[in-house]
Amino acid sequence: MLISHSFVDKDLRKALSGVPCRAEFFRYVQWHNMAFTVTADLRLPELVFHYESYTTSFDKTIEDLLDFLELSPIGEPEPYFPGKVYGDYYSDDEKHAIARFAKEFSSKTTWAHLKQYF
């Protein structure tokens, strides 16, 4: 269990207090932090779009993705079924704990992209 491991920094342990599935939320934030760090350090182009982009502008999102990858469409995209949300899985206290953790341990760039979900 990540929270009680002796190698975990006390500040991280405190920030993760009350966070359900804490290892998953830790990995989620760290993945974004590292992805933004790598693209910045290596000066790689990046394309950021959010899950809801598939709902609000599906065709434009697919077009932007293909343009970014320098690919041409080879057929019709698979149908997208909107409405997958997971907020009901967590209590209000858990949601607040997740948000506190994410804000504290996200890089500025990561938080700029994630804060809309909290």
Interval 76-101: pLDDT, tens = 988 888 877 788 899 999 999 999 99
Does residue 2 lie within any of the structural domains? no
Does residue 37 belong to any structural domain of this protein? yes
Question: Which residue ranges of the chain lie beneath pLDDT 50?
Answer: 1-4
99 and 118 Cβ atoms separated by less than 8 Å = yes
Residue 87 falls inside a structural domain: no
The answer to whether residue 10 sits within a structural domain is no
Asked whether residue 104 is assigned to any structural domain, the reply reads: yes
Task: Determine, yes or no, domain membership for 4.
Answer: no
Q: Is the dihedral of CA 93, 26, 68, 109 positive or negative?
A: positive
CB 21 within 8 A of CB 91: no
The answer to the question of residue 31 being in a domain is: yes
How many domains, the chain?
1
Here the tokens at position 68 are 């970014």
- Alpha carbon distance 109, 68 (integer Å): 20
Distance CA 87, CA 90 (A): 6
- To the nearest whole percent, how much of the chain has pLDDT over 90? 65
